[in-house]
Structures are given as structure tokens and as C-alpha cells.
């Protein structure tokens, strides 16, 4: 898909390797939330504050507004595991309003991965039809997990989820037309996440929910500037589901990078690119995929 310059190909590959080496893959990106908890409320104020902070951070990641029912479902799913997504916290007391004020740092990348694993990230505007074959306990909980993930039982052949319970474990198989995944877990929640995370990380699973585009940004002065573009794309959670740097070229105006991007909303991605490149004196261009329209900066 991308043309190579025979003379400069070796140098471009070295630049690409350099950017990958300093890229955002190993970084922990923190989101900050300030939460107020009334003194004297039932339950642990610390636990309430951290759960609410994680839910608020989820709102900044999802490309759509999570309805009250699904937000309640996410809160229930996170009720025993929300601390996994908290990096740090501190507390202050507002004596005048009798409130505890919590400053909570969230591991945004890890939380985004969870929302994608569960399908919550993808199914805001379109639900996923699937077939369920289940025996044993857990029917009620499955219905709640379906609502959370945006899965709807329909008379389809694939995907099909087969769940059995026995002893203290749940066993499941998730099949598509091309793949089969199996898992065994102690809880139905863990099994659900283990299997659907495989589905929603596959190209077959997310294809109906995203647009695939190639984004070119040119006028970059250094390798660090290219890395900065990669970092920014990864931080635009509401506009970018996935972004991979696939090519760097040496052009007359500086370095030029191509990114392979999966976006749930092309218009939001274009708006972010316009704002980002304009203030930095860069130019961007979108290479159209199948059935997509080409777009350049406005």
C-alpha cells in the first residue's frame, strides 16, 4: 500500500525503529479525577471515591455517552476490581461543606483496554448480535453482562458462546467463523472478559464498529516529533481505537509519517487532527480505505 524509495528505504527503516523504540507502548498514562464524598455516607469513602473516579475516567475514554443502565452495570463489574486501575490517591477534608475531597490518578490505558475487552467501547451505536448456549447456573448474570457489553441474543450462526458451570468453575467456548477461543474461570465475570477480549481484539470482531484509515502527518522536524504524534494519537481515546506507525519518509519539508488508524468516529478524528496540526505548522492527509472518502486538513 505504501511506496518505498529504494535509495532512502534503509534510512527510513532505521528512523521507524528509532520511533518504535521511544514510542508510547511502555508508558503509563495517568488521568486525574477530583471526587467529593459527603462525610458520614455509608460504605468506605475511599472506595466510593476511587470507584467514582474510575467511572468518570471511563466517560473520557468512551466515544459515546454511557447510559445510566450500562453505567450501573459497569460500576457493578468494577465494584471488586476498580483499585486495579488506580495509580495513586490523596485526600483532603472540606470542613465547611463536610466533604472529603479525593484526588485520584487513574491508569487510563489499562482502563481503556478493559472497556475494549468487554466491548463497551465499541457498542455505543451498534449492538453485537450473537448466539448463547448455556447450561447450569448464571443465567441472570449473563443477561446483565450482555447489557454491559452491548451483546444481543439473535438467531445468528456466529459468534456463538457456549458456557457450562461445574463445581467452582465456569467453562466457556467462543466461536466465530474463523476462530475458536476457550477459557475456564472461577467467576462468570472473569470468563466473560477472558473470551470477549479475544473477540474484540480481533479484526473480525471490531470491523463493524470502526473505520480503518491511513493518516499522514508531514512537516515533522525530528524523530521525537514523530513519536509525539504517536503519543497524541494514543491519547485520543474517544477518536482513536488503535494507531500504529507504519512508515516514515524523508521529505523536503522534514519527516513524514504514516499511521494506520482505527477510529470509531472519523469526524472526531479529523477535528482533532485539524486542531493538533494547525497550531504546530504541520499538514495532514487521510488516505481513503475501501468505501471511505479521502480527507485533507481544512
Distances in whole angstroms, Cα of residue 190 to Cα of each of 6, 78, 114, 146, 232? 50, 11, 12, 14, 32
Q: Show Cβ contacts of residue 29 under 8 Å, excluding neighbours closer than 6 positions.
A: 107, 108, 109, 234, 235
Please state the rounded mean pLDDT for residues 179-199.
98
Q: Please state, in angstroms and rounded to a whole number, the distance separating the CA atoms of residues 261 and 206.
A: 13
The closest of 176, 166, 149, 184 to 74, measured between CA atoms, is: 149
Q: Please state, in angstroms and rounded to a whole number, the distance separating the CA atoms of residues 146 and 130.
A: 10
- pTM of the full structure: 0.88
- Amino acid 297: pLDDT: 56
Sheet of strand 151-153: strand arrangement: 151-153, 128-135, 160-166, 169-175, 180-185
Q: What pLDDT band is residue 51 in, cutting at 50, 70 and 90?
A: very high
Phi, psi (5° rounding) for residue 154? -140, 170
Averaging pLDDT over each range in 1-10, 37-46, 122-131, which range is the top one? 122-131
Is the sign of the CA dihedral 211, 216, 220, 222 positive or negative?
positive
- Amino acid 26: pLDDT: 52
> Which structural domains are found in the chain, ordered by start?
30-118 (no CATH), 128-207 (3.30.160), 210-296 (3.30.70.260)
Choose between 120 and 37: higher pLDDT: 120
- Amino acid 12: pLDDT: 45
Does pLDDT of 283 surpass 60?
A: yes
The closest of 290, 244, 292 to 267, measured between CA atoms, is: 292
Cβ–Cβ under 8 Å, residues 240 and 261: yes
In percent, how much of the chain has pLDDT > 70? 86
The closest of 234, 205, 229, 233 to 219, measured between CA atoms, is: 229
The CA-based angle 270-289-263, given to 5 degrees, is 40
Q: Please state, in angstroms and rounded to a whole number, the distance separating the CA atoms of residues 222 and 15.
A: 10
- Amino acid 266: pLDDT: 96
Mean per-residue pLDDT of the chain: 89
In percent, how much of the chain has pLDDT > 90? 78
Cβ–Cβ under 8 Å, residues 249 and 183: no
Q: Please state, in angstroms and rounded to a whole number, the distance separating the CA atoms of residues 81 and 69.
A: 19
Q: What pLDDT band is residue 163 in, cutting at 50, 70 and 90?
A: very high
Please state the rounded mean pLDDT for residues 199-217.
96
Does pLDDT of 292 surpass 70?
A: no
Does pLDDT of 3 surpass 90?
A: no
User: Mapping DSSP to helix (H, G, I), strand (E, B) and coil, where does residue 214 land?
Assistant: strand
Amino acid at each position: 500500500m505504501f511506496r518505498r524509495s529504494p535509495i532512502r528505504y534503509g534510512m527510513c527503516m532505521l528512523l521507524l525503529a528509532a520511533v518504535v523504540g521511544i514510542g508510547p507502548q511502555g508508558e503509563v498514562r495517568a488521568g486525574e479525577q477530583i471526587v467529593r464524598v459527603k462525610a458520614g455516607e455509608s460504605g468506605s469513602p475511599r472506595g466510593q471515591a476511587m470507584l467514582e473516579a474510575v467511572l468518570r475516567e471511563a466517560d473520557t475514554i468512551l466515544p459515546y455517552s454511557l447510559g445510566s443502565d450500562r453505567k450501573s452495570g459497569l460500576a457493578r463489574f468494577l465494584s471488586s476490581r476498580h483499585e486495579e486501575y488506580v495509580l495513586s490517591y490523596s485526600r483532603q477534608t472540606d470542613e465547611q461543606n463536610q466533604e472529603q475531597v479525593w484526588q485520584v490518578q487513574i491508569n487510563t490505558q489499562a482502563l481503556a483496554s478493559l472497556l475494549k475487552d468487554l466491548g463497551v467501547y465499541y457498542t455505543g451505536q451498534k449492538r453485537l448480535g450473537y448466539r448463547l448456549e448455556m447450561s447450569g447456573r448464571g443465567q441472570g448474570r449473563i443477561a446483565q453482562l450482555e447489557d454491559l457489553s452491548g451483546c444481543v441474543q439473535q438467531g445468528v450462526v456466529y459468534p456463538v458462546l457456549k458456557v457450562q458451570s461445574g463445581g467452582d468453575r465456569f467453562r466457556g467456548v467462543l466461536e466465530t467463523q474463523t476462530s475458536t477461543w476457550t477459557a475456564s474461570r472461577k467467576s462468570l465475570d472473569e470468563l466473560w472478559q477472558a473470551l470477549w477480549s479475544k473477540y474484540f481484539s480481533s479484526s473480525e470482531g471490531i470491523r463493524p464498529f470502526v473505520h480503518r484509515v491511513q493518516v499522514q502527518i508531514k512537516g515533522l522536524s525530528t524523530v521525537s516529533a514523530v513519536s509525539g504524534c504517536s503519543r497524541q494519537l494514543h491519547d485520543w481515546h474517544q477518536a482513536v481505537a488503535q494507531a500504529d506507525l507504519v512508515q516514515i519518509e524523508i521529505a523536503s519539508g522534514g519527516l513524514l509519517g504514516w499511521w494506520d488508524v482505527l477510529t470509531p468516529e472519523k469526524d472526531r478524528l479529523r477535528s482533532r487532527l485539524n486542531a493538533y496540526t494547525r497550531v504546530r505548522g504541520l499538514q495532514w492527509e487521510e488516505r481513503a480505505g475501501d468505501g471511505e472518502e479521502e480527507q485533507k486538513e481544512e
